[in-house]
Amino acid sequence: MASARDVLESVIKRMSVFKNKEVLYPEYIPQHLPHREAQLKQLAEIFRVMLTAPGSVSMRAMLVGGVGVGKTVTARVFGSTMRSLARERGIDLRYIHVNCHRDRTLYEVVAEIVRQIGAPIPLRGLSPREMMLALLNYIERNDIYALVTLDEFDYFVSAAGNDAVYFIVRLYDEYPEAKKRMSFIFIARDLSALSQLDPTTESYILKHVIKFDPYTSDELFDILVQRRNAAFYEGTVDDEVLRYIADMEGVDRGGEGNARAAIEALLLAGEAADYEGAQKVTIEHVRKALSHVQPDIVRVSEILPYLQLHELLILKAAIRVLRRKGEAYARIGEIEEEYRSICQMYGEEPRKHTQVYEYVNNLKKMGVIEARVSGKGFRGRSTLVSIMAPLDALEKQVDSLIEKRRTANRKRLL
């Protein structure tokens, strides 16, 4: 029988089809964005004033489109390029990217902007407005400009409310004497959440809207060719494999037009080939990958890294209860009982019922779970929770993130 060392060495020494797997990860930012040149040009038209007449005006743009259509990567590439162009002109322009799934309140958003700029401003004891005023004074003294992207902005609208949004988008109304050193990009999946705002604030946001349509199969093929050439050894992935994925995901072929799902399918197909010791990625490997890349799990997997530890523990409890019951919905009371058991298993202090209910509402707002009040067929009124994503795949991701959170918490206590 092989020893553990033998097993590990056999895997480590095995040849791989990958030369740079990181190119296929969601956080990778390519230098070239196929089929998003038009959106980059629109952004350049809106924000060119930051280079031609810095400080004269604060600009805003709204990027709108579904999951995996390139909004975030386009904003990041644009921000990085703008910073380089500004540096060539002697302008200190910082690009700040805030994800509003993680930073959900006005305080958290302003604090994250302060942190990324590196301003020595105390984050405790100050209100968001006091922090922002201190930040504006800091960037004025140090001749800094900032292009700030608020990603998942529709969630910030729902979670933080009209007053917080008004403060952000009408920042220089509150500080009219300040030089206009900060401009904003907002990213949203759709504009429906903006209906919660007052008409003046909504119209202010919608002055410059840039739309991102789902990718066609031909567009996805071009994206996959770019990633294949950078991620895999030459000759390990044929064009027909890429075309198969592109046709499965392309909006013109009945797919979601989701580049992130297509790239993840390519990644999983390559991993399947490595697992089998194959020298080439085949369409059969892709079929195996596509069985795991379902829209719900792809969408939810983007949100999971921004969940707090106890939100992850509650999500794990919901997964366990739903799997055990074999039904579409589980009562919040059942989930809370399972959550307390999981907390005991991990040595974590469980939160009280009101906090648990708030976490469930947050998970619902983010689209991780479905939750509704029970109706006919249920005794009494209770909140019912359901999960659309495949439970086994979801729980693996949740378990991994729980361990990361707990490890990080332990390190902070040392």
- The answer to whether the beta carbons of residues 249 and 258 sit under 8 Å apart is yes
By C-alpha distance, which of 100, 85, 77 is closest to 31? 77
Is 215 within any annotated ligand binding site? yes
H or E segment at 282?
none
Residue 301 tokens read as: 């997997």
- The answer to whether the beta carbons of residues 99 and 151 sit under 8 Å apart is yes
What contacts 267, CB < 8 A, 6 or more positions away? Answer: 21, 24, 25, 231, 289
Is 411 within any annotated ligand binding site? no
- The answer to whether the beta carbons of residues 110 and 178 sit under 8 Å apart is no
**CA end-to-end distance (rounded Å), the chain:** 41
Q: How far is CA 379 from CA 331, 338, 373, 382, 383, in A?
A: 11, 21, 12, 9, 12
Residue 326 tokens read as: 């074999």
Residue 106 tokens read as: 């006005």
By C-alpha distance, which of 265, 245, 263, 264 is closest to 255? 245
Is 69 within any annotated ligand binding site? yes
Is 161 within any annotated ligand binding site? no
Q: Any idea what DSSP says for residue 81? A: H
- The answer to whether the beta carbons of residues 23 and 148 sit under 8 Å apart is no
Is 360 within any annotated ligand binding site? no
Fill in the amino acid letter for 145: Y
The binding site for ATP comprises 69-73, 215, 227
The binding site comprises 69-73, 215, 227
